[in-house]
Structure 1
């Protein structure tokens, strides 16, 4: 998974999160459902080159210290997330994946466009970039919609942009 987040006033960071495991079910050449385990401890920042800055931001996102454990993802308490595909439909000629994203033991339904390819040997699911509102999962650090009277240059966007790319082998 690729992710991107940033401040309302500008500036952003991007990176990746790995999947631990998963499975996809296919019937008559079409994906019917599936489930993936997201390894939240694999959060990786890809836009920083300074090792200390990179480690600092990754630690903050993971909640590496008691002080910042609940700022973002608190991976000590919640090491895994999940995404469960519940439906695949077609809208305006585009495949739409619907499912339940669970982070920090909170589940919400999401829907996003994707290109799904089923062959005799594998299944690939590649999403278009889509946004989720992080506050729905209790990821509220410096959210302008949650924290009132926060200085404008400190406000972090509620939306995180995600792009998913999965290949499952039969």
Structure 2
């Protein structure tokens, strides 16, 4: 009688193993399964986001703002993976000149063919091609190196800059100071490259101080929906 009992026990044990092996979520060789983290698109809140520009020249500087027309950040879990942003060049504002006539003169000049050719190229675009986390970044310091393609006046060049990125659930914020060499976009007015007199030179690089606020697709940051 012992032999039939042993056979029955072995059969029952093998049946249990078979059921466990084919159960949903079971991965051979692992006690638990790891679900893949889905990518998420966070739409940029163009009202809360800001772009400030600064251009220096011999003996002075000009500064102001410009607005984003649209944008999005691509995230996977708590990591930034990509993004695309469109800048409305017609919204450029000069803030350092208070006299209306002088302010309009410089604003119109910046929109002219000497600079950004806004009538011909109303938008500039930046597309992230690589977002690399910075190892052991301290709180408050840049924690990503961003590389992407910046298109101005229809001309595209790759740029790289450090950024501070914070992602929490379906919200994200990013800040960066970006240096742009205007001569790479055929903006050479009063550049030293074209023989401008030393006291009239406008420096070739200008900076953009960028702050992005993004929320889940279809929602503004802070929405309770």
TM over 0.5: yes
Kindly report which structure 2 residues correspond to 1:57-136, keeping only aligned pairs within 5 A, or say none: 57-63=106-112, 70-91=113-134, 93=137, 94-127=143-176, 129-136=177-184
Choose the corresponding residue for 1:33, options 76, 82, 88. Answer: 82
Secondary structure of the corresponding residue to residue 191 of structure 2: coil
Is the strand fraction higher in 1 or 2?
1
Secondary structure of the corresponding residue to residue 47 of structure 1: coil
Aligned equivalents of 1:130, 1:103: Cα separation in 2: 14
Aligned to 2:211: 165
| TM-score between the two structures when normalised by the length of structure 2 | 0.68
Aligned equivalents of 2:146, 2:67: Cα separation in 1: 19
Secondary structure of the corresponding residue to residue 97 of structure 2: coil
Aligned equivalents of 1:120, 1:151: Cα separation in 2: 53
Choose the corresponding residue for 1:13, options 49, 57, 62. Answer: 62
Structure 2, unaligned runs of 5 or more: 1-50, 138-142, 217-225
Aligned equivalents of 2:110, 2:146: Cα separation in 1: 27
2:187 aligned with 1:144: no
Runs of 4+ in 1 over 4 A off after TM superposition: none
Shift, 1:160, TM fit = 0.4
Mark the structure with the bigger radius of gyration.
Answer: 2
Shift, 1:121, TM fit = 3.3
Secondary structure of the corresponding residue to residue 164 of structure 1: strand
Is the helix fraction higher in 1 or 2?
2
Number of equivalenced pairs: 160
The CA RMSD over aligned residues, in Å, is 1.2
Aligned equivalents of 1:73, 1:167: Cα separation in 2: 26
Shift, 1:157, TM fit = 0.3
Shift, 1:132, TM fit = 1.5
Aligned equivalents of 2:134, 2:169: Cα separation in 1: 25
CA deviation vs aligned residue, 1:3-50 (integer Å, no higher than 9, x gap):
11121x220000111100011111121111110001000111111111
Shift, 1:101, TM fit = 0.5
Structure 1, unaligned runs of 5 or more: 64-69
Q: Would the aligned equivalents of 2:145 and 2:163 in 1 still touch at CA under 8 Å?
A: yes
